[in-house]
Amino acid sequence: MISEKEYRRRRDKLALVLPKQSVTVLFSGTHKTRSNDTDYPFRQDSNFYYMSGFKEDNAILVFIKQKKKYQAILFVNKKDKTAEMWNGKRLGVKKATKRFLVDHVYTKDEFEKRFKEYLVEKSILCFDFGLDYSKVKILKRYSKNIATHKDISPTIGTMRLIKSNAEIALIKKAITITKKAHHKVMKLNKVSKNEYQLLANLEYTFKSNGAYNDAYTSIVASGNNANTLHYIDNNKPLYKGDLILIDAGAEYEYYASDITRTIPVNGKFTVAQGELYELVLSVEKKIIKMIKPNILRSTLHKKSEELLVEGMIRLGILSGNVKNIIKKKKHKLYYPHGIGHWMGLDVHDTSPYKYAQGKEIPLQEGMVLTIEPAIYIDENDTSVPKKYRGLGIRIEDDILVTKDGYENMSKGIIKEIYDIENMHS
C-alpha cells in the first residue's frame, strides 16, 4: 500500500514546480450514469488519487502557492446519514483531517466561498484542461480577473512516469492476479465454448483474488475477431483450429496490468499458426532485451518494425526490400500500432512521451511500459498465403526499467508454444 507520507511527498514535489502566486485545483471523479437511476461502478480520477489517495467522489484538492510555501486543502462530502444509508459511509471532515496530511479539510459545500478568497492577489490558476465543462464553469466564474490559466495535467503526468517502490509492488500484485486468470483460461477445454465463457473465468479470477476492477475492458477474440484491435463483443463461438487472442489485465488498488496472450482453441498450434506465433514471440523477446535507461521508445518501435517486416518477407506475407516496405508503410496493414505504452494508475498512463520542447523522453529507471508486437492478417486478404489468413497474434508483457536494464514483471505468464500446449493437456 501507499503511505500517507508518500502522497504528501508527491504534493511537496508538485508544489516545487507550481508557479508563484498561483492556485491549483484538482477535482475527484464523479459517479457516471449508466441508464436512468443506475450508475457505472465509481472509479477515482487518477491524477486526483495520485495526489491525495482519497477514494470518495465529489471531493476537491487545492494548492495555494505563495512565493516559496504552499498549502494543501482538501474538500470532502459532509457526513449525511440519509445519503450514507443509500450510498455508503463517508469519511467526513474529522476523520479526513486525522488521516490525510494536508493543511486543512473542509466540506465540499464551502468550496466556492473559499475558492473566491484563495484567488485574491493570485495571478495564475492551474487545473486540468480536460475537465468536464460544468467544473470548468465553476472555476471560471470566480477567476475572471486571473489572466493566466495553466494545464496541470502534463506536470502531474511527468511525475507519474517514475514509479515508487510502493507503486511497483501494487503493479506486481495486479500482474500476479492476472497470471492466475490467464493460466486458468489456458487450462480450460475451450472446444465448443463461447468467448464470453472465457471472459467469465477471467473476471471471476480477478475478483476472487482481490482485483475488484479490470484495468480495461477485456478482449477475448477468437479467429478473425483478433484482427479487430479493440474487439470487445466477446460473444462468438470458439471453433477447433482457431486461435484466441486474450488481452486482459487486473487492476489492484488502482494500479493496472496489461497482458496479451494468443492461444489455440484446441490446445495445439497448427504449423502455420506456430510459424507466425514464433515470429511475433521472437520479436518481443529481442525488443525487451533492448530496454535500458536512455534508450528511446521510438528506437524500440523502429526495430520491431524491421524485425516483423523481415519475418513477414520470409513467410511470404510481404515482398520486397525491408526499408522500402517500411518507407511506404505497407507493413501498417499488418502491424498498425506502436510497440507499447506507459502503464501505471491507468492502463495507458497519461504521462507524456515528449518534453514540452518536442524532444522525446528517453526511458529511465522506474518507468513501466508494455511491449506488444503483433501481426494481424484479415481472413479476406488474398495477397497473403491462405494458411495465414484470419490469424491475429499479439504477445504483450509489462516491463519495468531498472538501473542497468529491465525487469519483465510478467515473465511468469507462459508464452512459449511448448508451455502453452502442455498447460492445456
DSSP E strands: which ranges in 95-242? 104-107, 124-127, 148-151, 213-214, 219-222
And the C-alpha cell for 209? Answer: 483474488
Distance CA 17, CA 6 (A): 18
Q: What residues are labeled active site?
A: 37, 230, 247, 258, 337, 341, 348, 372, 376, 394, 396
Per-residue buried b or exposed e for 311-329, using 16+ beta carbons within 10 Å of the residue's own CB: bbbebebbeeebeebbeee
| CA angle centred on 55, ends 51 and 56, rounded to 5° | 120
The one-letter amino acid code at 282 reads S
Q: Distance between alpha carbon 93 and the CA centroid of its chain, in Å?
A: 32
Distance CA 266, CA 421 (A): 9
And the C-alpha cell for 136? Answer: 470548468
List the alpha helices (DSSP H) in 188-296. 195-208, 271-290
- Helix/strand/coil percentages in the chain, nearest 5: 40, 20, 40
- For 176, list phi and psi in degrees, rounded to 5: -60, -40
And the C-alpha cell for 67? Answer: 512565493
**What does 378-392 look like in DSSP terms, one character per residue?**
-TT-TTS-GGGTT-E
User: Strand 124-127 and strand 148-151: pairing?
Assistant: parallel
Exposure of 85 by Cβ count < 10 A (0-12 exposed, 13-18 middle, 19+ buried)? Answer: exposed
Distance CA 263, CA 256 (A): 22
The sign one gets for the Cα dihedral 37, 41, 45, 49 is positive
| CA angle centred on 92, ends 88 and 98, rounded to 5° | 125
